Amino acid sequence: MAVFLTSLVLFLGALGLHLIVWKIRLPKFHTRTLLLLFALVLFLWLVTLTLRPMSLAEVAHVCLFYTSLSLCYVITYSAFEADSPTLSLIRHAHEAAGLGMSSEEVHLFLEKRPFVKARLAALTHDGLVREENGRYFAVGGGSIFFRVILIFRKLYGSIQEGG
C-alpha cells in the first residue's frame, strides 16, 4: 500500500507543480520542461528517503510506477499541446449543431489550421530539422527518441504512405 500511495502522492505533487509553473509562464519547450519537472520531483523524493527509509525493492517499485504514470501524462499532454484535426472538426460540427456545415465551411475551418505546416514548424522549433532555401535537412544525428521510433518502425516492415 505504501508503494501505491507514495507513487500517487508524488504524481499528484508533480502535476500540481506543473500547473503552477504553467500558470506562471508557459515554457519554450513543453515536453522537455515537463520531463524535467517529473524527474525533479522523483529526485527530491529520493533525497528525502533518508528521513523515512524504504526497502530497495519498494523504492524501485515506486520509481517504476511513478515513471510509468508520468510518461503516460507526458504522452497525453502532447494531445493537449497540438490540435487533433479529427477532434477539432468534431467539436466544430458539434457547435454547428442542427445547421451543419457546408463543404466550403469545413475547408475554410481546416485551412485556418494548417496541421502539416504546424508539424513542420514544431520539428524546426525543436531543432530536429532546419530549413535552407526551401529544403528541409535533418539536424545532426537527430533526437534519440525519434531514432528509436524509426528503428522500431523497421520491426513492423513497410507501412502505407500518406497521413
29 scored as a contact of another protein (CB under 8 A): no
Nine-digit cell string for 10: 508524488
Q: Using the rule CB under 8 A, which residue among 24, 51, 97, 144 binds another protein?
A: 97
Question: What Å distances lie between residue 16 and 8, 39, 74, CA to CA?
Answer: 12, 14, 14
CB nearer to another protein: give 19 or 44: 19
Q: Which three cell numbers stand for residue 80?
A: 493537449
- 46 touching another protein, by CB under 8 A: no
CA-based nearest residue to 63, from 78, 37, 41, 33: 41
CA 12 and chain centroid, separation? 17
The amino acid sitting at 149 is I
Choose, by CB under 8 A, the member of 17, 22, 27, 33 that binds another protein.
Answer: 22
Looking at beta carbons only, is 52 or 135 nearer to another protein? 135
C-alpha cell at 105: 465551411
- Of 25, 29, 37, 21, residue with least CA distance to 122: 29
Residue 152 touches another protein, criterion: CB under 8 A: yes
Verify binding: residue 90, another protein, rule CB under 8 A.
yes
CB of 36 to another protein, least distance (A): 17
Q: For residue 123, state whether it binds another protein (rule: CB under 8 A).
A: yes
Residue 135 CB, nearest approach to another protein (Å): 4
Residue 155 interacting with another protein (CB under 8 A)? yes
Binding to another protein by residue 127, rule CB under 8 A? no
Q: From CA 86, how far away is CA 106, in angstroms rounded?
A: 12
Q: Does 53 bind another protein (CB under 8 A)?
A: no
